Amino acid sequence: MRSSKNARVVFAAYLPGGVATVFQNLKEAIGGREDMDSAWVPIEMDAHSKLPREIAERALIPGSIRNSLMTGAQIRKLEKSGGRFDAAYFLYPTLCMFLWRFRSRVPYLVAMDWTPLWCERHSLWYAHPPFNRRSLGSKVRQAMIRRVYSQAFHLLPWSWSCRESLMRDYGISPERITVVPPGIDLRRYDSPDRTARSEAARPLNVLFVGADFTRKGGDLLARLAQEPEFKGVQFNFVTRGYQGPTGDNIRVFEGVTANSAALVNLFREADVFALPTRADTHSVASLEAMAMGLPVITTPVGGIPDIVQDGETGCLIARDDMAALTDRLRMLKQDRGRRLRMGLSARKRVETHFNSETIATTVANLLRRAAASRAKGVHTVLSGAQLLLTVGSLAGGA
């Protein structure tokens, strides 16, 4: 039974790629709290996101509209059965873009691993399609995103560079921003003792985890697996739609799900995690690898520099730098001591900065503050002027 002292909070997230893992970890860490009554609204990847971009751009209902309408419908259903919410958490601003009435009465947090203008600056078009700033559609969308950001009770970017974009590109004051990265369940990802592992009994095991094989740089590792000096190294690919060569030292795992025992076991068997990604806003897989005590080879794109410390917890190389990838993997293959030291440092870094329990406590505390502001009647209220009133009427708010 709900306590009168408990805040009633709704959590909504759009779930592409590793975001599903982040949402699951947050739910597991917060769902059992006795001081908060929580409801969860997962919005699965829509059909448009799985289509070629040229087809998706011609779709009658853009994904952001579809996802916002679905979120509003789910929230209305939950409120009819259990009463109004005191606060809300949205993982991505597009989920509440058209929920004007809901946002006017319920203080909300917005978490994100990117902003549109940040993606533009970093050429991360996979996360946000290229847009013409001068077009009417682009101006309207940007105005709506700004409104969502400016009226939020608090903003939770995953990385410091995303935080900088909120201040630089959207004029958000730093007092209204807290960097809250993804949290890793350290009980599930429990690092094994690799010092007792016999090197003579097995080949070096390199693990790659990334659904988008080419964007994540899987093709570079597949090429490396064919080089004579790495023929004795085992390369494991957890991916979807593998497009590389075959070989005795290449194994491909399709259908391995996030946070599954099979995935954790692959991390446990590995010696090095390699993700030479060409475009990423963040990297949950790299955090999982570090939690399992693995050194990480990856690229400094998006928010990844917040995760991997070059030379301490892993190696950062330039995009498409095959020579650097070869050199770093050779170094870790030959120097077991360095490999183990980096792995231990990686585990400690996750324990200190990316523990899901600590992350969940930060989110819960902010939500309780938001709920308290609503009770006092001091939460942000929308002005009477609205963008796209006709679309708002169609969306219905929540």
Q: Residue 7 carries which DSSP code? A: E
Count of alpha carbons within 13 angstroms of residue 1, beta-carbon side = 2
For residue range 363-391, list pLDDT tens digits in order: 999 999 999 987 665 555 333 333 333 23
**pLDDT in single tens digits along all 398 residues of the chain:** 344 578 899 999 998 778 889 999 999 999 878 888 999 999 986 544 444 444 334 443 467 788 888 999 999 999 999 889 999 999 999 999 999 999 999 999 999 999 988 888 877 767 666 666 677 767 788 888 999 999 999 999 999 999 999 999 999 999 999 999 999 999 999 999 888 776 667 899 999 999 999 999 999 999 999 999 999 999 999 998 898 899 999 999 998 988 999 999 999 999 999 999 999 999 999 999 999 999 999 999 999 999 999 999 999 999 999 999 999 999 999 999 999 999 999 999 999 999 999 999 999 999 999 999 876 655 553 333 333 332 332 233 44
Domains of the chain in sequence order? 7-183+355-395 (3.40.50.2000), 194-353 (3.40.50.2000)
